[in-house]
Amino acid sequence: MDEALLRGLTPSVLAALVRRGADFAAAEDAVQDALAEAVRVWPTGLSPGSRPRSGGGDPIRDAKGWLITVAWRRFLDAERADAARRRREVLVGREPAPGPAPAVDDTLRLYFLCAHPSLSPSSAVALTLRAVGGLTTRQIARAYLVPEATMAQRISRAKRTVSGVLFDRPGDVATVLRVLYLIFNEGYSGDVDLAAEAIRLTRQLAARVDHPEAAGLLALMLLHHARRAARTAPDGSLVPLAEQDRGRWDTGAIAEGTGILRAALARDRLGEFQAQAAVAALHADAPTAEETDWAQIVEWYDELVRLTGSPVVRLNRAVAVGEAEGPRAGLAALAALDDSLPRHTAVAAYLHERDGDPVTAARLYAEAAAKATDLAERDHLTRRAARLNARRPR
C-alpha cells in the first residue's frame, strides 16, 4: 500500500466530511481512523488484481471514495457514542448519495484553516501536518522531539481554536506559505522526512493557487533540498556551501526548482521566496564555488532588503558583498549592522579570515561558537577556530 498516495488524499477526504456537516475536529479524528484502517486492511501494494478485504468499495479503483465512506462511518460512530443524539439524527439525514468527489479547492480551504492566524506557529505546523499531511500524532511528536501526549494536546487545542472558523472563507496564501516554510526549515528528525513532506504539501498548494510566491517557495525548497546529501559529512558535521561536493547535488531537483522559479519570475510579481530561491539558484548554477556569480547574488540581496528590510538579510548581503568585492567591502557592509544580530560574529570571523587576519578570525570564531544556537554550527565554528589556532605557534 502506497502511504504517500494515501496521505495525499487526506485533505479532500477531510473536506468531504466537513462538507457533509461534520465539525472540523471530529472529522479530523475520523479521517485519522480511516487512514489507520486503510493501512491495516488494504492489500500491500495497490496493484491491479489484488482485492480488498474490507471497506466500503474497491480501494484500488477509488481509494478516496473508500476513505470517505469509512471516515464518515467512523464519524457517525463517534457521534453516536457521544451524547449528541439529536445532532446525529440531523447528520444521518444529511448524508448525500454517493456522487462526484469533492471539488479541488476543498484542499485549499483546509490549508487556510490549518494556518489560520489565530494559531501559534507551532500549532499551525502540527495541525497542517496532521490534517493536510495525514501524518499521525505519533509521527509528528517524534519529528519534533516531544512526547506524543503533548503533541496530541497541541493538535486538539489547535482544532478547538479553529473550530469556529468558517470553512468556506478564503484565507491568506502568505500565511500558509510561512507555515510550510517553517516545516521545511525546522525539519528535524524521526521517521518522517519533514523537508520532503513540506515539499509535497507546497507542491500540492502551488498547483491550486495562482500565486508566484507559492511557486517561489516550492523552488526555494527544491533548490535547498537538492544539496541535502552534500550538506553533512559522514560524521554528521556541517559542510559549508563552498566546500560541498557539487557532484552530489541532485540535478533533477535543481532543474525542476530552476524551471519553476523562472516561470514565477516571468510573472513579474517578485516576493521574498522568489528572491531567496534566486539566490539558491545562482549557487546551484555554479560548477565550482569560485565560479559563483556573487555580483548577481548581491543584487538579489538588495531586492530582499527592499522587500523585507530584515537585518538577517542585510547580514547575508554583507557576506555576499565580501565575496563579490572582497573582504574589506564585506566588513564595511557589516560595520553598518547591529553586532548583536545572530551570526554577526560568525560572519565577522569569516571576513577577517578571508582578509588574512587569522588571529582576529580565530578569536571571533570562538566567540561566535559560544553564541551559536545550533549544535552543528557551534561545532563547525569551533573547528574553524581550532584550525586557525593550530597553524600558529602557541
Partner 1 sequence: MAKYLLLKHYRGAPAAVNDVPMDRWTPEEISAHVQYMNDFAARLEKTGEFVDGQALAPDGAWVRYDGEGRPPVTDGPFAETKDLVAGWMVIDVDDYERAVELAGELSAAPGAGGKPIHEWLELRPFLTAPPTVTE
Site of interaction with partner 1 (CB under 8 A): 120-123, 125-126, 144-147, 149-155, 157, 182, 184-189, 195, 220, 224-225, 228, 231, 238, 241, 276, 279-280, 283, 316, 319, 372-378
CA distance 216 to 27: 32
Residue 121 or residue 259: which is nearer to partner 1 going by CB?
Answer: 121
Q: Is 343 left (phi over 0), alpha (psi -120 to 50) or beta?
A: left
Residue 65 or residue 257: which is nearer to partner 1 going by CB?
Answer: 257
DSSP-assigned letter for residue 232:
B
Q: How far is the CB of 360 from partner 1 (least distance, A)?
A: 23
Q: How far is the CB of 327 from partner 1 (least distance, A)?
A: 17
Q: How far is the CB of 150 from partner 1 (least distance, A)?
A: 5
Q: How far is the CB of 309 from partner 1 (least distance, A)?
A: 18
Nearest by Cα to 176 from 215, 105, 134, 124: 124
SS3 at position 270: coil
Residue 75 or residue 350: which is nearer to partner 1 going by CB?
Answer: 350
Residue 154 or residue 211: which is nearer to partner 1 going by CB?
Answer: 154
Q: How many residues does the chain have?
A: 394
- Report CA dihedral (329, 332, 336, 339) to the nearest 10 degrees: 110
DSSP-assigned letter for residue 238:
B
Residue 241 or residue 386: which is nearer to partner 1 going by CB?
Answer: 241
Residue 126 or residue 201: which is nearer to partner 1 going by CB?
Answer: 126
Q: Are 257 and 288 within 8 A, CB to CB?
A: no
Q: How far is the CB of 276 from partner 1 (least distance, A)?
A: 7
CA distance 220 to 198: 11
Per-residue exposure over 62-91, b if at least 16 CB sit within 10 Å of its own CB, e if not:
ebbbbbbbbbbbbbbebbeeeeeeeebeeb
User: In the chain, what's the furthest Cα-to-Cα distance?
Assistant: 86
Q: How far is the CB of 187 from partner 1 (least distance, A)?
A: 6
